Amino acid sequence: MDTGTPAAADTNKQPRTERGRRTLRKLLDAAAVEFGERGFHDASISGITARAGTALGSFYTYFDSKEAIFQALVRDMSEAVKVAAREALAEPASALERERAALTAFLRFAAEHKEVYRIIDEAEFVDPESYRQHYETTGARILDRLREGARKGELRADLEEAHAWAIMGMNVFLGLRYAVWGEGDLPAERVAAIAGDLLAKGIAVDR
Amino acid sequence: MDTGTPAAADTNKQPRTERGRRTLRKLLDAAAVEFGERGFHDASISGITARAGTALGSFYTYFDSKEAIFQALVRDMSEAVKVAAREALAEPASALERERAALTAFLRFAAEHKEVYRIIDEAEFVDPESYRQHYETTGARILDRLREGARKGELRADLEEAHAWAIMGMNVFLGLRYAVWGEGDLPAERVAAIAGDLLAKGIAVDR
Amino acid sequence: MDTGTPAAADTNKQPRTERGRRTLRKLLDAAAVEFGERGFHDASISGITARAGTALGSFYTYFDSKEAIFQALVRDMSEAVKVAAREALAEPASALERERAALTAFLRFAAEHKEVYRIIDEAEFVDPESYRQHYETTGARILDRLREGARKGELRADLEEAHAWAIMGMNVFLGLRYAVWGEGDLPAERVAAIAGDLLAKGIAVDR
Amino acid sequence: MDTGTPAAADTNKQPRTERGRRTLRKLLDAAAVEFGERGFHDASISGITARAGTALGSFYTYFDSKEAIFQALVRDMSEAVKVAAREALAEPASALERERAALTAFLRFAAEHKEVYRIIDEAEFVDPESYRQHYETTGARILDRLREGARKGELRADLEEAHAWAIMGMNVFLGLRYAVWGEGDLPAERVAAIAGDLLAKGIAVDR
DNA sequence: AATGAATGAGTTTTCATTCAT
DNA sequence: GATGAATGAAAACTCATTCAT
């Protein structure tokens, strides 16, 4: 997971040399694998440095603690998810199509980066602040899109935050079920089509 | 959280005396508080026994490990959530109304028992099997209701598992946002009305 | 150094069984040796438990930290020094003779228990509060004796705290020089006689 | 604490340039503050270089180890104490007055440089050789003065090393009590007067 | 069954010292 | 000489689990 600008570095010690920058990057990448595979508590600093190929002590040159690198990682990943969604939304389309495209992108990203799903979820227990921030930001972005759609007359005018959270929950659980657990059960497009359809007309019989 | 029949005890040592039954109950109740407050990893057996007012060693008379009591608890709670929903669905109503009632009940339950929410969620990392089981069971129940609604001609005939998971995700995230975090931001009825409305007609402008 | 009532136990966990009391005692005795030989910083918990013949973890059943057992020890020893002095002062004697007897006792005790000298001294850096308390208490006891001597007309009436500290400093340094470092250079009685003579008449030529 | 010629540098690497001399001086000054504030073990090389405003690695250009700079410092300070005393003894006076002047000077110096007191004392545990040397040298200087006084007929002829150590102990403890801890409780002159009086006549009632 | 002491593997963290630039 | 990153040995401490009573 290299997203270019490590959001994490803010809270931690910034390397001053190129060599330092490389070591920091290696640590973050190794941590993503370690946390993804073993979870926060079973992961160990020495596991991270072993994967990164650095000495144990070098970890503390860049991070104060296991929590600190985890937080750095969550913020990195939250950013990466956002970026992936933004790219999927590059081309203009109707509001409903945009939601469908966003879900497709998310499902693909989740299938590709199952560790991201796991790490962000585990943040609920390890770094609640980041967890909350991630979902509040994501929810706010969805709400923005809904309002944009309403402005264009494509969506109802009374949509509010709860609608955004409902959509986000849908997406996340469909990601859990079909991208993380049951990859192959149903292709991303199909899942996104079902959800898109639900958003378009609801589930009641056609009136 | 006393749900009467500890489903969990199955996997553990059954008390033979009345005194033993009381101790077991005290341990489970104490564990719910300890895990709810501190999370699985920060929780300690000695914290549990201290809250339960028993000796440290007594814990192992009833449970094989920290994981074992956690699992017992998760299954207890999964059961409790199911029971709460079932009660809310006692009276006959239209399919859409049933979903709304189920969400209202869930939101109320979650606000009342925030620790349940946390413990079940943490199971994703501590006891993935129980976690999965909880959501698969819950999803299956929702799907049952959807099919029932379809049979009665109230809901569309093409609803499938993905619809159930979409609804479940909606519910869970609305619970997180409005019951666990933002109790008071929006009353349960209002949240459930919004979600019900979404299910009824989607979010597009009225055709 | 077994002084009967471990003053230390106050701040730490009290054993509830006889077995526990034995373990605690073994730890304190082992710590006295370990700290005496290696000093606070070079001493290690595992060194203490190895000497005590207990498991590493058992240490933490009774003490919260290395600092905690050190403090316990310092207070134990401060008490032991007091007791040794008190015994030497049991029989009635003139005020000057009492001071001489006290110094003799102290020198003997210090020669016998060099580790006590070291540990109390190191408290200046490890546990300043105990260090201060030790010397303030000791100084106060000396002052009491001086006042008693003044009341009986044996000593000058204008003696004050500074006199007590001067005497205490004399004693401590003579202990360092002749009991701890140079045992054998000069016997305790001879050192005490010199100091006693100084107190009796000063160092100026006889008027 | 700049005493001009760092006695310590002898054992370490001598700077060859003016710039090097400045860096060395900065390190010693920083170390005095760091050791004085945090004690030897809590002090860190990086703390010293941070205060000195140099890079961590530069430390090893001038000193071989943490112990080495500590030793350098102790010898610097031992020298500084000696110098302070010598200055106070510049003018001719009676033997008793000289001792009083020496104590006054010491008390003033100690109040002014509390860190010196602490660092020299801690040497007992960090660099016992320097500690011993400091007190043996100091004791020898006092004994010299006592003998000089005896030669002039002002002091008794039978004064020996133990008298010098008794006086030194008095001085040190009065310094601890009234200069380091209780600055203000009693002015230096008053303390020195009491001690001088004790030396002059002892503490017994006037014969 | 209950009690509470004993165990020791396992992890994080520190920091003096070395090294590459 | 100066810089700052890298190293890794060493220790404190935790706590689930076992055991003796």
- Residue D74, domain extent: 11-203
Rounded-to-integer distance, Cα D57 and Cα D75, Å: 24
Mean pLDDT value across residues B80-105: 92
Query: Which has the closest alpha carbon to C138: D177, A120, D128?
Result: D177
Q: What is the pLDDT of residues B122-133, one digit of tens each?
A: 999 999 999 999
C166, containing H or E segment: helix C161-174
**C173 neighbourhood in chain D, CB within 8 Å:** 135, 165-166, 168-169, 172
**Percentage of chain B surpassing pLDDT 90?**
80
Q: Quick one: pLDDT at residue D11?
A: 53
Q: Which residue's CA lies closest to nucleotide E6 at its C1' atom? A: C58
Going by pLDDT thresholds of 50, 70 and 90, the confidence category of residue D90 is confident
In a domain, A165, yes or no: yes
Say if CB C34 and CB C48 are below 8 A apart: yes
Beta-bridge partners for A204: B155
Q: Quick one: pLDDT at residue C183?
A: 79
Hey, how many other C-beta atoms are within 10 angstroms of the C-beta on C152? 10
Say if CB B171 and CB B103 are below 8 A apart: yes
Q: Quick one: pLDDT at residue B105?
A: 95
pLDDT at A98 over 60: yes
In a domain, A2, yes or no: no
Q: Concatenated DSSP letters for A21-79?
A: HHHHHHHHHHHHHHHHHHHHHH--HHHHHHHHTS-GGGHHHH-SSHHHHHHHHHHHHHH
Residue in chain C closest to D94 (alpha carbons) equals C204
pLDDT at B3 over 50: no
Residues in chain D: 207
**C198 neighbourhood in chain D, CB within 8 Å:** 163, 166, 199, 202
The nt closest to A46 (CA vs C1′) is E11
Beta-bridge partners for C155: D204
Q: Quick one: pLDDT at residue B11?
A: 52
CATH number for the domain including A167? 1.10.357.10
Q: Which residue's CA lies closest to nucleotide E20 at its C1' atom? A: A19
Question: Which residues of chain C are modeled with pLDDT < 70?
Answer: 1-11, 207
In a domain, C6, yes or no: no
Rg (chain A; Cα; Å)? 19
Mean pLDDT value across residues B110-115: 93
Q: Under DSSP, is residue A156 helix (H, G, I), strand (E, B) or coil?
A: coil
Going by pLDDT thresholds of 50, 70 and 90, the confidence category of residue A207 is low
- If you average pLDDT over every residue of chain A, what do you get? 91
In a domain, D68, yes or no: yes
pLDDT at A4 over 90: no
Q: Position of tokens 């919004």?
A: B194
pLDDT at D71 over 90: yes
Q: Do D146 and C40 touch (CB under 8 A)?
A: no
In a domain, D1, yes or no: no
- Å between CA of A61 and C1' of F8: 14
Q: What is the pLDDT of residues A51-65, one digit of tens each?
A: 999 999 999 999 999
Going by pLDDT thresholds of 50, 70 and 90, the confidence category of residue A8 is very low
pLDDT at A87 over 80: yes
Give the alpha-carbon dihedral of D190, D194, D199, D200, to 10 degrees: 90
Q: Under DSSP, is residue B65 helix (H, G, I), strand (E, B) or coil?
A: coil
Beta-bridge partners for A155: B204
- If you average pLDDT over every residue of chain D, what do you get? 91
Q: Quick one: pLDDT at residue A5?
A: 45
Of B41, B154, B186, the CB nearest to A41: B41
Q: Name the token pair of B156.
A: 């569309």
In a domain, B6, yes or no: no
Which nucleotides of chain F are near protein (any atom < 7 Å from a CB)?
1-21
Say if CB C30 and CB C52 are below 8 A apart: yes
Say if CB A109 and CB A192 are below 8 A apart: no
Rounded-to-integer distance, Cα A91 and Cα D90, Å: 92
Q: Quick one: pLDDT at residue D14?
A: 78
Alpha helices by DSSP H, chain D: 18-42, 45-52, 59-62, 66-88, 95-112, 114-126, 128-151, 161-174, 188-201
Of B122, B169, B177, the CB nearest to A170: B169
Q: Under DSSP, is residue D49 helix (H, G, I), strand (E, B) or coil?
A: helix
Mean pLDDT value across residues A182-200: 94
Say if CB B168 and CB B181 are below 8 A apart: no
In a domain, B4, yes or no: no
Q: Concatenated DSSP letters for B24-38?
A: HHHHHHHHHHHHHHH
Rounded-to-integer distance, Cα B67 and Cα A41, Å: 14
Going by pLDDT thresholds of 50, 70 and 90, the confidence category of residue D183 is confident
**D40 neighbourhood in chain C, CB within 8 Å:** 125
Query: Which has the closest alpha carbon to B107: B178, B43, B38?
Result: B178
Q: Name the token pair of D173.
A: 């403890």
Of A96, A166, A206, the CB nearest to B195: A166
pLDDT at D17 over 50: yes
The nt closest to C27 (CA vs C1′) is E6
Residues in chain A: 207
- Å between CA of A56 and C1' of F8: 7
Q: Do C163 and D194 touch (CB under 8 A)?
A: yes
Residue in chain C closest to D99 (alpha carbons) equals C203
**Range name among A185-194, D14-23, D60-69 with the lowest pLDDT average:** D14-23
pLDDT at B20 over 90: no
pTM above 0.85, yes or no: yes
> Could you tell me how far CA C15 lies from the centroid of its own chain?
26
Q: Name the token pair of D200.
A: 């002059």
Give the alpha-carbon dihedral of D152, D155, D159, D163, to 10 degrees: -130
Say if CB C24 and CB C62 are below 8 A apart: yes
Q: Quick one: pLDDT at residue A204?
A: 78
Count of domains in chain A?
1
In a domain, B96, yes or no: yes
Rounded-to-integer distance, Cα D75 and Cα D122, Å: 13
Q: Quick one: pLDDT at residue A11?
A: 57
Going by pLDDT thresholds of 50, 70 and 90, the confidence category of residue D20 is confident
**A205 neighbourhood in chain B, CB within 8 Å:** 153-156
